[in-house]
Amino acid sequence: MLTIKRVPTLVSNYQEDVLEGNVMGCGRKCLGKCCMPVSVLPLYAFKNDDNEPIENDIQTLPEEECQMSFLNNLLLGLWEERMSQGLFRYDVTTCETKVIPGRCGFIAQLNEGRHLKKRPTEFCIDKVLQPFDENKFNFTKVGQEEVLFRFEPSTDYKPHYFSGMRVNGGISPSIVAINVSPIEYGHVLLIPRVLDCLPQRIDRDSFAIALHFAREVADPFFRVGYNSLGAFATINHLHFQAYYLSVPFPVEKAPIQKILARKGLGGAGVIVSKLLNYPVRGFAFEGGNGSTARDLSDAVVNSCISLQNKNIPFNILIAQCGKKIFLLPQCYAEKQALGVVDQELLDTQVNPAVWEISGHIVLKRTKDYNDASEEYAWKLLSEVSLSEERFEEVKGYISEADGLQAEEDKNINPEKEIPDSPGPQVASHMPPDCLVRLLLAFDMVTILQPPGDVFSSTNVSTCR
C-alpha cells in the first residue's frame, strides 16, 4: 500500500479537536444526527428541472439580462457575515495575488496562513474508493454557525428561499458551509446529504446537486471544484468546493479539440474535447444544441464512476455556470509516493488539487511567490499529468462508459488559442459588482431577511 505523510487542510474550526481524539458528546449545535432533526436552518430550494436545455454561453447574453441572481447575493452576504463574526482562520482578502506573465496567465497566490496549525497524518493515496470512517473528521462534526444554508430541490420547479426552516427528521439535508481556511473570496463547501455520511466519491444524485449549485448561482466568476481521493481530497466525506475568482482560470482559456460525441434525439448530445497546449492532459465536457443539464451531468458522472472503479484519481472543475465541465485525471500523488518528483517542486509544499491544476496556484512561502514564473507552473503541472499513453487509455474508458463515438475535429490550431498575458497584475478577490461593493449602497437587510420570511424568485433575471 502506498502511503505518504499528509498535512491535512483545515476546512472547519472543529477539525483539530477531532484529530486529537474522540470527543464525548456534542455540547453544541452540530450537523450530526444528535442535533439536525431539531434544528432550524435557512433553506434555498433550487429549481429542479434537469430537462431544461443548456442555453448559449453566458457571454452571449445582453448585459441587462446578466443581473446577479438571488442565490449569488445570498451566498456573498452570508459569507461576509461569517467573516465579520471572526469564523475564518485568516483574512483571505489580504493575501497577495498576481497573474504570472506568460502565455497561459497562471495565477499565483501567497497564502502563508493556510498551511499553519496542521497536524501530520497517514493518508492512503493509492485507493480512490475508500469506506467512510466515522472515527475520522467528517462534516457532521461541524458547528451550525459555519453553515450558510441548506440547498435542496424545490417541489414546484421554481426557486424559493426560507430564512428559517426546520429540518425534517426523515431527510438528510445538503449543506452549504464556509471553508474556514479559504483560498479565495466566497470559498464554500457543498456537502450533499450530510447525514448519510457518504465517502468522497462521485454519484449521480450528488453531482447533479453540484451542477445545480453552479447553475443557480449563475455567476461566471464562481466555479465549483471536486477532488477525488488520491487527487488531494483531504477529507473522506463527500463534498465539493467553490469560490469566486474574477479572472479566467488558465484551463478555461486553453484550446480544446473535439474527440468524442454522443448524438441524442433531434441532434442533441454531449461533446467531449481534449485540452491542447496545456501542461495537464484533460477533458472538457459540453452540451450540444438542445441537450439538457441531465445529459451533461450523466456523461460526466458515467466517466467519473468508470475512473473510480479503475482506481484512477481525478479532479473536476464546473465552469461557465455549469455549461462546461473539466475532468482532469492525475498521478502526482502516485509519483510523490514513489519518490520520482523533483525535490525543488516538493519543497514548495504545493498539493496540486483542482484549483492548482486549473491554473490558480496557492503558494505558502514568500520566496516561491516572488519567484513564481510560467516555467515553474508548467513544470509543476506537467508532473501532475498522465502520460500520452495513459491518457489514451482513459479516453477509451470514457468512450465506453458514455457510449461515445470518435469524432475528431481536424480544423484546430492550438497555437492561436491562448494569447500572451499582459504581464503582472493583481487579480481581485471579488467579482465585478460583488456584494461587498453593493453593500456600500444597500442595507444588509435586503439580503439577510428576518426569520419567517419567504422568498420566491419566479421573476428574477439571472445569467442562464
List, for residues 227-281, the tens digit of each pLDDT value.
999 999 999 999 999 999 999 999 999 999 999 998 765 556 899 999 999 999 9
Q: How far is CA 368 from CA 251, 256, 289, 364, in A?
A: 22, 30, 45, 8
For residues 411-421, give the mean pLDDT. 53
Instruction: Please state, for a pLDDT cut of 70, what percent of the chain lies above it.
Output: 76
**Cα(247)–Cα(249) distance, integer angstroms:** 7
**Cα(453)–Cα(382) distance, integer angstroms:** 51
pLDDT band at 126 (very low <50, low <70, confident <90, very high): confident
pLDDT band at 98 (very low <50, low <70, confident <90, very high): very high
Q: Over 90: is that where the pLDDT of 356 sits?
A: yes
Q: Over 90: is that where the pLDDT of 174 sits?
A: yes
Rounded to 5 degrees, what angle do the CA atoms 244, 249, 251 make? 140
For residues 80-98, give the mean pLDDT. 94
Beta bridge partners of 405: 261
- Cell 457543498 sits on residue: 190
3-state class (DSSP) for residue 108:
strand
pLDDT band at 397 (very low <50, low <70, confident <90, very high): very high
Q: How far is CA 14 from CA 30, 80, 239, 241, in A?
A: 10, 20, 16, 18
pLDDT band at 415 (very low <50, low <70, confident <90, very high): low
3-state class (DSSP) for residue 48:
coil
Q: Would you state the pLDDT for residue 411?
A: 65
Give catalytic residue positions.
Answer: 239
3-state class (DSSP) for residue 84:
helix
Torsion angles phi and psi, residue 144, rounded to 5:
-70, -15
pLDDT band at 414 (very low <50, low <70, confident <90, very high): low
Q: Considering only residues 52 and 297, tell me which one the structure prediction assigns the higher pLDDT.
A: 297
pLDDT in tens, 289-329: 778 999 999 999 999 999 999 999 999 999 999 999 999 99
The DSSP call for residue 330 is -
pLDDT in tens, 10-43: 666 555 444 344 433 365 688 898 888 888 999 9
3-state class (DSSP) for residue 326:
strand
When mean pLDDT is compared across 107-116, 168-177, 299-308, the lowest value belongs to 107-116
Beta bridge partners of 286: 271, 324
Q: Would you state the pLDDT for residue 407?
A: 84
For residues 433-450, give the mean pLDDT. 37
For residues 58-81, give the mean pLDDT. 73
First and final C-alpha spacing in the chain: 46
Q: In one letter, which amino acid is 462?
A: T
Neighbour-count burial for 344-375, b at 16+ CB within 10 Å, e otherwise = ebeebebbbbbbbbbbbbbbbeeebbeebebe
Q: Would you state the pLDDT for residue 67?
A: 59
Asked whether 186 and 79 are in contact (CB, 8 A), the reply is yes
Long-range pairs, 376-381, Cβ under 8 A, ≥24: 377/100, 377/104, 377/106, 377/108, 377/279, 378/104, 378/279, 379/342, 379/345, 380/279, 380/345, 380/348, 380/350, 380/352, 380/356, 381/279, 381/280, 381/352, 381/356, 381/357
Asked whether 265 and 251 are in contact (CB, 8 A), the reply is no
DSSP string of 220-287? Answer: TTEEEEEE-TTTT---SS--EEEEE-SS--HHHHS-EEEEEEEE-GGG-EEEEEEE-SSSS--EEEEE
When mean pLDDT is compared across 41-50, 330-339, 358-367, 451-460, the lowest value belongs to 451-460
Q: Over 80: is that where the pLDDT of 2 sits?
A: no
Mean model confidence pLDDT for the chain: 82
Q: Would you state the pLDDT for residue 11?
A: 62
For residues 193-214, give the mean pLDDT. 97
Exposed, middle or buried: residue 171 (CB in 10 Å: 0-12, 13-18, 19+)?
middle
Q: Over 60: is that where the pLDDT of 431 sits?
A: no
- Cell 455549461 sits on residue: 323
Q: Over 70: is that where the pLDDT of 428 sits?
A: no
Q: Would you state the pLDDT for residue 12?
A: 61
pLDDT band at 366 (very low <50, low <70, confident <90, very high): very high
**Cα(282)–Cα(297) distance, integer angstroms:** 17
